[in-house]
A = this chain, B = another copy of it.
């Protein structure tokens, strides 16, 4: 049986796992990402974490067919160059060739959200689907597009950035420097900002008590919790959020027509309370939904494992 190393590099943690060719994690290990370190040093840390996971599994590097990594960034797979990773302060670094110094097997690198999508599509929420789109609702809006059970990321591999499609012409500023991006309306960050603003305007909202009167303690769970208790302000915040989410997703569906849309990130823990209204709104706001329907809308299942599994599975041709 073949084995792969899957590495999920985040701004906070390096997670690595040994993954079977069927997509099961055999062993895993995680370390802190020290973003202050030099590029070469951080790659060395990544390698250490991967070899620790390997050692836990009882295998050696000669049992490994390839190494796959996901990173939160733009990567050019033709050159192995990482163009830009904001969280890591990396710009135009030769990521693949640096990793290759540590591993005597082929190394593949992809966007982390694309890896998570591949993991969910092959062994998680969308196992059995040929074509799926995954949206991760977190600090930003990550996205991965799976076509024929492989990652699709645009003709030059720099695309498929769903979070940076326009949702509102000349709308809210986005962290990317543009205006009106889907991410500026559908990320957990955007939900928290809206909840804060609404709670401040409406002192009687349960959301105020739920963050102990300190609006800086607002999180993405609070508006949902308050809405479930019938708090009108929270109901409005959550309703508006799902509206935006549906509107942005409708564009992706209209272009790609995947069989499934997987919702990941912390907010996906709301399950049917989020997905039920989202399906209804998507059905209403998506082009030709009456004639041709909408994809299955499902919650991610693998959590953080998706990134490791997908990173490894990108190596499987």
Q: Are B169 and A287 in contact (CB under 8 A)?
A: no
**A255 in contact with B288 given A168-B169, A244-B169 (CB within 8 Å):** no
Interface assignment of A109: CB less than 8 Å from any CB of chain B? no
Give the shortest distance, in Å, between A278 (CB) and chain B (any CB). 15
Copies in the complex: 2
Interface segment out of the listed A12-20, A157-165, A226-234, A267-275 = A157-165
Interface assignment of A210: CB less than 8 Å from any CB of chain B? no
Task: Tell me the bound Cα distance from A256 to B164 in angstroms.
Answer: 12
A interface residues, how many (CB within 8 angstroms) = 50
Interface assignment of A21: CB less than 8 Å from any CB of chain B? no
Within 8 A of B (CB), among A131-179: 131, 145, 147, 154-162, 164-171, 176, 178-179
**Nearest CB to that of A133 among chain B residues?**
B155
Q: Are B287 and A255 in contact (CB under 8 A)?
A: no
Q: Are B165 and A251 in contact (CB under 8 A)?
A: yes
Interface assignment of A70: CB less than 8 Å from any CB of chain B? no
Q: Are B158 and A292 in contact (CB under 8 A)?
A: yes
**Nearest CB to that of A154 among chain B residues?**
B257
Q: Are B255 and A160 in contact (CB under 8 A)?
A: yes
**Nearest CB to that of A165 among chain B residues?**
B251
Task: Tell me the bound Cα distance from A178 to B254 in angstroms.
Answer: 12
Q: Are B84 and A159 in contact (CB under 8 A)?
A: no
Task: Tell me the bound Cα distance from A61 to B200 in angstroms.
Answer: 75
Q: Kindly list chain B residues whose C-beta atoms are within 8 Å of the C-beta of A156.
A: 131, 257, 259, 292
* Binary interface encoding of chain A residues 233-277 relative to chain B, with 1 for a CB under 8 A from any of its CBs, else 0: 000000000011001101111111111000000000000000000
Q: Kindly list chain B residues whose C-beta atoms are within 8 Å of the C-beta of A84.
A: 288, 291
Interface assignment of A35: CB less than 8 Å from any CB of chain B? no
Interface assignment of A29: CB less than 8 Å from any CB of chain B? no
Q: Are A292 and B155 in contact (CB under 8 A)?
A: no
**A292 in contact with B74 given A158-B257, A166-B250, A251-B166 (CB within 8 Å):** yes
Give the shortest distance, in Å, between A260 (CB) and chain B (any CB). 10
Q: Are A159 and B291 in contact (CB under 8 A)?
A: no
**A247 in contact with B169 given A147-B155, A154-B256, A156-B257 (CB within 8 Å):** yes
Give the shortest distance, in Å, between A90 (CB) and chain B (any CB). 12
Contact for A155 among B164, B243, B257, CB less than 8 A: B257
Within 8 A of B (CB), among A108-140: 130-131
Question: Can you report 10 A-B residue pairs in the complex whose CB atoms are below 8 A from each other?
Answer: A154-B257, A155-B259, A156-B257, A162-B255, A164-B287, A164-B288, A165-B165, A166-B250, A169-B244, A178-B250
Contacts from A to B (Cβ < 8 Å): 74, 83-84, 130-131, 145, 147, 154-162, 164-171, 176, 178-181, 185, 243-244, 247-248, 250-259, 285-288, 291-292
Beyond known contacts A166-B247, A169-B247: 4 more, CB 8 A cutoff: A161-B255, A166-B285, A178-B285, A251-B251
